[in-house]
Structure 1
């Protein structure tokens, strides 16, 4: 019997990006026989349906709210966001559903493309079309691998245990009216992830999969696929392959860390230059398109004090960026808007929340925007070179090489120093190294969706949990920390999925 499962993203699957995908009409998208007749059809589906489905705003929003990246700003905050910020996490939390839905939507669209590709006779294609055929599949399978890596990292209680409970496995297009599948062991999900990554790395080629001219970082290149693999193997605890792929991502890319002594780091965040970006999601520099405004997760109109700030930067994160590395930290200048209000008496002033507003400016809008609609819109940086150095540092600790770990952290700090200098970095114990790596990841990768998973992976070993300031909330009786051992460092399966799929098992702590 054909095994298909229910996923929340069915309504998304039935809606394609019509501007880029005229070959598929609503209601036909699950029927590859209708949609795919040529390699060009595959290419259109990849560009018009698969790539646009990749959107990690739910992950970024949830991580910022739940951990210690943000505090309440002066403008209004929704009740649901308040609950998430106060560690109320359950199967109805909206960002949880968004992570589940969004990534299974990607999986299903890739499955549709892969099934459609079998209808095209590869042997009859021209040499150029054969290259394009395999390259489309390489891109699609790398993206499916990333979707499953994301699902595993949030919903599996322990990615380092091959026998732990994973997520739902599907390699064929979904149909909500037939069999509902259970969750499977991590090992079964890993087999598909590794098959996808191996195919993508072996078959990636330079044939042009885009419809026109675009910046190279807006589509996967081989170095970015290595970066996906490096993150996966690091999360899984496979040090050999994590190190191999992180090193390959650095060497294959031809890029270097953006240096804080010049403009490279600053202009990377306005999308004016590539900098050290391995892969970013394109946000068009016009008022059309379906992309969301990423800075709108924290502010309303613009990333300045007059932009109706809903959330500002947490005080602990601010203190970590405020001249904590030698020569001054370029990330302070880039991530914090100059219009921010700083109360010199904080936290003992009469109105510490109202008089101290640290405006998040990591996504400042595109440079020279066509209109005010671009004030909150930037490319989303999926993978950057600095993450690869952080992975190498983490692996070095696993291998017992504390000196190598320190060297990788020092490399990042030198490049984030506005004077290109740093103090010595030395570790004497693994716990000390983990703590410092977590600290550097907190600074470097803030508002990119990493902190929650970083604490889940390393928090216990480092003795670190969520770490807030008392004024990150307007209720000063709220807890300021949550240990990384807490059950809420694994997300619940969304309630809609539980209600519709009797075969699926909920995670511990949420029943």
Structure 2
């Protein structure tokens, strides 16, 4: 029987504190629950749910396939605000050059497609079987169902952003049956049941309807759920609201985007400027809402988010190719803003920017390449191990969503009231502008500079450019070179270019007779 990629048979993964086996596709590995026993007890279901979260950041077939964190790297490398300083290793090079996602046989479309559908399939298994658990009470069941629905909504949201065209609310409202309307444009299959049957592509609008349906129900079910504690690896009500805010922002539903972002931020505190320089690898930080808690013995031999993104782990990828900030963006950040301290202005400043550390000596590695504007945002606590917590959502993003959504409604004073709380936290010398009409006009306006500076390296830039219908611009003044970056340097990549869509993987097209082919 052919196995359709979108409904690929999966196994529930057990997240253990002691170990994580690499044989996650074995039929009876020691770190998984037997499928027949998942629903024997509430505890078994919770273990299976832990495994779904583990599947979000485990390594799949290659060292640049470390789950969603690998896709976070892809999304930022495909933007303009992370600059490569040298060719480095082959990993993620094709994403930076905008080639990998446009080849049907390439690993990137296949990996990203099966990653999110595998997560969806695991969530569906739990949703379909949870009523079989003996004696389960509503108080036990509702949070689990809420989490699974939020996960399923989030994963479909990721897929439609990658493989579908930009959601255009104006076209939907003004020309609902036009060729480019979300109501007509094809997105991805909607999978709400675990099944081996093939699924056709739904329209972009249909996918978003399902995403919102799942998130709305999740928010209801997660209301009153037990607190998560200091390790915020699971989705709670605030995270579901945060995902809902992201979706609304992408759909240009400004009212809902502001509402859900402001609801989501309740109960969190922005971090201090001291904490801002601690390395972004510890989710006990006061403003982390959701992330992956990655343990040292869960790290594969090669790979992991921090092997590619940390400033101090001595990997072959970072040793010759330190990542730096877009120079134009760096110059737009105030000198008194703590975020500017994340980027090196003097390559000889080893005190503030030691760079890669030789784990055997604890000193800066002599073989490393150093570059002006290289970052120190992501720092692992032990330079011998590329392990650290990975940020999926922080409350700062909610401030930025609410401010942008308010500004796009023309509510500039309300937008500035929200943004000022974040901006003044990061820069005590921040001065509120007297003319608010220009706080959201282009990528160099106040709100967008705040967003770009705040979320640098956290996986947002490609999706931000796409949802805003903005060209990719990487002129040499930003630090990019045509040799390395390939796209957007000598001329902008216009927003209507077909390359803003990932191609569906060839293996899915060949196996699924209901799947529409990629457009030429």
Matched, 1:60 2:72: yes
Aligned to 1:454: 464
Of the structure 1 ranges 428-437 and 32-41, higher mean CA displacement relative to structure 2 is found in 428-437
Matched, 1:156 2:164: yes
C-alpha distance in structure 1 between counterparts of 2:311 and 2:268, whole Å? 34
Equivalent residue in structure 2 for 1:104, among 109, 114, 117? 117
Q: Secondary structure at the match of 2:278?
A: helix
Q: Secondary structure at the match of 2:437?
A: coil
Aligned to 2:408: 398
Would you say the 8 A contact 2:343–2:373 is kept in 1? no
Q: Secondary structure at the match of 1:383?
A: strand
Aligned to 1:428: 437
Aligned to 1:349: none
C-alpha distance in structure 1 between counterparts of 2:439 and 2:346, whole Å? 38
C-alpha distance in structure 2 between counterparts of 1:95 and 1:25, whole Å? 20
* Alignment map for 1:378-389 (pairs within 5 Å): 378-389=388-399
C-alpha distance in structure 1 between counterparts of 2:193 and 2:317, whole Å? 49
Matched, 1:267 2:278: yes
Consecutive unaligned residues of structure 1, counting only runs of 5 or more, are: 343-353
Aligned to 2:253: 238
In structure 2, do the counterparts of structure 1 residues 186 and 72 end up closer, same or farther at CA, with 3 Å as the change threshold?
Answer: closer
Kindly report the root-mean-square deviation, in angstroms, between the aligned alpha carbons of the 2 structures: 3.7
In structure 2, do the counterparts of structure 1 residues 193 and 114 end up closer, same or farther at CA, with 3 Å as the change threshold?
Answer: same
Q: Secondary structure at the match of 1:157?
A: coil
Aligned to 2:380: 365
Would you say the 8 A contact 1:298–1:360 is kept in 2? no
Number of aligned pairs?
465
The alignment's TM-score, normalised by the length of structure 2, stands at 0.78
Equivalent residue in structure 2 for 1:165, among 186, 200, 204? 186
* Alignment map for 1:341-352 (pairs within 5 Å): none
Aligned to 1:144: 152
* Alignment map for 1:36-185 (pairs within 5 Å): 36-53=39-56, 55-74=67-86, 76-78=88-90, 81-88=92-99, 89-90=101-102, 91-120=104-133, 124-125=135-136, 129-160=137-168, 161=172, 162-163=182-183, 164-175=185-196, 179-185=197-203
Would you say the 8 A contact 1:438–1:454 is kept in 2? no
Aligned to 2:359: none
The alignment's TM-score, normalised by the length of structure 1, stands at 0.79
C-alpha distance in structure 2 between counterparts of 1:87 and 1:505, whole Å? 23
Residue 114 of structure 1, CA deviation? 0.9
Residue 340 of structure 1, CA deviation? 7.0
C-alpha distance in structure 2 between counterparts of 1:113 and 1:327, whole Å? 50
Encode CA deviations 1:463-491: one digit per residue, 9 max, x unaligned. x5333436523728955132223221222
Encode CA deviations 1:34-93: one digit per residue, 9 max, x unaligned. 532222221111013344435422322212322213333357331x74443233241344
Matched, 1:497 2:512: no
